[in-house]
Structure 1
Amino acid sequence: MNVLSSFNMDRHQRVVIDTTDQQWLASPSTGVWRIPLEREAAESGQVTSLVRYDPNTHFQAHFHPNGEEIFVIDGVFQDEGGDYPAGTYIRNPPGSYHSPGSNTGCLLYVKLNMFPEEDNEIFRLDTHNASWQPGLENGMSTLPLHGFKGEQTVMMKWQPDTSLPRHRHDGGEEVFILSGEFCDEQGEYEKGTWLRNPAGSTHQPSTRKGCLMLVKTGHL
């Protein structure tokens, strides 16, 4: 991959990436590593990526001109606002500023520069201590994380041998699999897989083993 180039930014295209099979790329800060999933440019514009902090590392202080969305997958992420253990969901609005780091090391799922200007709420949620809701079918649970003008971000928990009828995503769908296995007509996707299904796509998803997922809809 050309580290300077745009990458996977045609959002009319379906993309599937097994992040466990990707190379970690060094960031400008020593000890901070990234796997880009979609990106406008090397150090600017919209980007979705996995970010890994080695223990006792910090990233230089910086602004988020168009916001930042973080889910802590593993370890403890830190900034001036506090310590955020695995399972924490974070929204830093447009214009926010921080000096992030990690004493223990951590793994993050990060989306940068994708907030509308008026989506300006600072938000933190420990998903391990949040109230889940029943899902659309038996065996499904949902934890709403954020909603704004048709865009919805949720965690979904599916028990083994659960499925949904075929349905359409008019505004697209993005999925990151935190644990377990997720399937549809086009394949089987294990922990660490990122999927982006374009606007107008249809599928009939299921799981045999059960799964936990981050899901965003309505934004494509």
Structure 2
Amino acid sequence: MRIHDDFSCTVEVVPDEHVWVPSPQPGVSRMMLDRMGAEHARATSLVRYEPGASFAAHSHPGGEEILVLDGTFSDESADYPAGWYLRNPAGSAHQPHSATGALIFVKLWQMDADDAACVRLDTRVPANWHLQHGRKVCELHAHGREQVRLIRVPAGAALFAEAIPSAEVLVLSGAIQGLRRTLGPTGWLRLPQGHYPTVCAGEQGATVWVKTGHLTREVGGRA
């Protein structure tokens, strides 16, 4: 299966286009944003757990990155309400479930082999945020050229002040103006290398998850 697998192209996915597909596990469905492979794939998805849904214990040979968007996501180590950022390095294993239901943003098979960081960070804690260039920033992870953060962008402000090596953006609240469309909460944008001064927050501002620098290396046989 190949979905939005040409990483040299801009992709914008608005919430109205979300198509939820049942996973092999009852009570768990996925909205696939990009994907290269079958059930064990390099993938970026929104994943929805119905109350009581669970997976059997399994490993992640290529690592797993999670942002909890709604509800409470759990594994054998803890319960993680909305706002938690989790990073499970390559080779890690867990048994995820949700007693009350959850919506999470997930990236699979997208970590460097030498990135061994295990991250558990509550983005709701004010101390995890700092002021940078006139906006609030919560640093989530950095490794090599890759940088992951949450940014609160003021109304009308450009998301990127200068050219970027590559970027992915998930809107958490408010809205941003993409290259062609306005993206509200759970809207997703992927940008190749370039300068994007017109990608900016809407009139109410926006809070976004942003990853930069990770698509400059070869991905799935494409640069």
Q: Same fold (TM over 0.5)?
A: yes
2:164 equivalent to 1:196: no
Question: How far apart, CA to CA, are the structure 1 residues paired with 2:7 and 2:142?
Answer: 20
Aligned to 1:135, which of 94, 107, 132?
132
Closer, same or farther: CA 134–202 of 1 in aligned 2, 3 Å: same
- Whether the aligned pair in 2 keeps the contact of 1:47 and 1:113 (CA below 8 Å) is yes
Closer, same or farther: CA 114–163 of 1 in aligned 2, 3 Å: closer
- Output the amino acid matched with 1:132: W
Stretch deviating more after TM superposition (11-20 or 174-183)? 11-20
- Whether the aligned pair in 1 keeps the contact of 2:166 and 2:213 (CA below 8 Å) is yes
- Whether the aligned pair in 2 keeps the contact of 1:176 and 1:215 (CA below 8 Å) is yes
- Output the amino acid matched with 2:143: F
Structure 1 outlier segments of 4+, above 6 Å: none
Tell me which residue corresponds to 1:34: 30
Question: How far off its partner does 1:132 sit?
Answer: 1.0
Stretch deviating more after TM superposition (142-151 or 125-134)? 125-134
2:138 equivalent to 1:108: no
Aligned residues: 213
Tell me which residue corresponds to 1:121: 117
Aligned to 2:69, which of 58, 68, 73?
73
1:41-61, Cα deviation, whole Å (9 max, x unpaired):
231121000000000110122
- Whether the aligned pair in 2 keeps the contact of 1:176 and 1:193 (CA below 8 Å) is yes
1:50-90, Cα deviation, whole Å (9 max, x unpaired):
00000011012211001000000000001011100100000
- Output the amino acid matched with 2:149: V
> Which consecutive unaligned segments of at least 5 residues does structure 2 have?
216-223
Question: How far apart, CA to CA, are the structure 2 residues paired with 1:168 and 1:204?
Answer: 12
**Correspondences of 1:22-101 after superposition (within 5 Å):** 22-101=18-97
- Whether the aligned pair in 1 keeps the contact of 2:128 and 2:139 (CA below 8 Å) is no
Closer, same or farther: CA 118–83 of 1 in aligned 2, 3 Å: same
Question: How far apart, CA to CA, are the structure 2 residues paired with 1:166 and 1:89?
Answer: 25
Question: How far apart, CA to CA, are the structure 2 residues paired with 1:53 and 1:131?
Answer: 27
Tell me which residue corresponds to 2:147: 152
2:167 equivalent to 1:173: yes
> Structure 2 length normalisation: TM-score?
0.90
1:6-32, Cα deviation, whole Å (9 max, x unpaired):
111110011001134312100010000
Aligned to 1:182, which of 176, 187, 196?
176
- Whether the aligned pair in 2 keeps the contact of 1:166 and 1:204 (CA below 8 Å) is no
**Same amino acid, percent of matched pairs:** 39
Residue aligned with 2:163, SS: strand
